[in-house]
Structure 1
Amino acid sequence: MNDKKFNFKHIHLGSLLKARTQELLLKSASLCAFFGCETQDLEKMYDSQSLDMELIVKWSKVLGYDFFRIYSTHLILYAPQVTQVRTIETKPKNPLEISFRKNIYTKEIIDFILEMLSTGEKSKGQIIEEYGIPNSTLHKWLDKYPN
């Protein structure tokens, strides 16, 4: 789960669950009892690219890891920034409802970006263009996290 080379673009949740289960040395019998399922059901979950949200919540609890964070990171990195689209029915936005993008970058995202820079996989310009990270933010990260 702490692998800096994790590919946030292509998420296969089942393989992540299996890896974390092995990391914690959890037995299938214990997990089956927790989920109220058979071993083959557990294997189906490990083979699945995605799962129902309620199952992800249960997995997050039993494995002590927020698997939703992976999807949030994917959205931050790969979903285009949405500007407010107004329709005739839309009322002007209340100033208190304005959301800010400041501080949305988790340590995992910063590590992911800096790893691409340090290995030469992407240049500063490519990162700024592809992920919409401001130039000043990228330079602050480089100063703050020199390794």
Structure 2
Amino acid sequence: MNIKNIHIGSLIQSKVDEHQISMERITKFLSREEGDVEKMYHEKSVDTDVLLKWSKLLKFDFFRVYTGHLILYAPHSRFDNSVKQNEKTMVFRKNIYTQEVKDFILEKIRMGKMTPYDVILRYKIPKTTLYKWMKKI
């Protein structure tokens, strides 16, 4: 899976093949013609309503792929997700690291493409978090 350049159609087709879902079931569930479904497999992006239906049918959260992309490639906010409330600042710093993101990063380290230090600098992942991931493999 390529988290940087997402081609959702091919990911959907891969999951359909993996679960061996029949075209008849897909067309009924999506209320689409077979040709429309085949076209979706070649699309780089899909409407969110349709993607939600695919997620339900295939029991896989395709939106997490995009979340993983945001964690790795979106510029970090200088506001750091803070919310002002009665002159106090509540800060929410919890990042959601999906398994796909963890696998992607650990693979880069394992293959020697990046060092742990490079990962910490590039993706702003806390050092302790990264080393916990590395310890588990």
**Shared fold per TM-score greater than 0.5:** yes
1:76-91 correspondence to structure 2 within 5 Å: 76-84=71-79
Tell me which of 95, 100, 121 is aligned to 2:93.
Answer: 100
Percent pairwise identity: 40
TM-score by length of 2: 0.87
Asked whether 1:64 is paired with 2:59, we answer yes
Asked if structure 1 preserves the Cα contact closer than 8 Å seen for 2:65 and 2:100, the reply is no
Asked whether 1:122 is paired with 2:127, we answer no
Q: How far does residue 116 in structure 1 lie from its aligned partner after superposition?
A: 1.1
d(CA) in 2 for partners of 1:43, 1:120: 38
Matched to 2:32, the amino acid is C
d(CA) in 1 for partners of 2:66, 2:2: 11
Q: How far does residue 97 in structure 1 lie from its aligned partner after superposition?
A: 5.1
Tell me which of 4, 7, 27 is aligned to 2:2.
Answer: 7
Name structure 1 gaps, 5 residues minimum.
1-5, 86-91
Asked if structure 1 preserves the Cα contact closer than 8 Å seen for 2:64 and 2:98, the reply is no
Secondary structure, counterpart of 1:93 in structure 2: strand
Deviation string, structure 1 residues 54-83 (Cα, Å, up to 9, x no partner): 001100000110000100011011112101
Q: How far does residue 101 in structure 1 lie from its aligned partner after superposition?
A: 2.5
Q: How far does residue 121 in structure 1 lie from its aligned partner after superposition?
A: 1.6
d(CA) in 1 for partners of 2:126, 2:116: 10
Tell me which of 126, 129, 135 is aligned to 1:134.
Answer: 126
Q: How far does residue 137 in structure 1 lie from its aligned partner after superposition?
A: 2.1
Q: How many residues align?
A: 133
Deviation string, structure 1 residues 24-55 (Cα, Å, up to 9, x no partner): 11111221111111111011111111111100
d(CA) in 1 for partners of 2:48, 2:27: 18
Instruction: Name the Cα RMSD after superposition.
Output: 1.9
d(CA) in 2 for partners of 1:98, 1:12: 34
d(CA) in 2 for partners of 1:26, 1:140: 37
Choose between structure 1 and 2: higher strand proportion. Answer: 2
Q: How far does residue 138 in structure 1 lie from its aligned partner after superposition?
A: 1.7
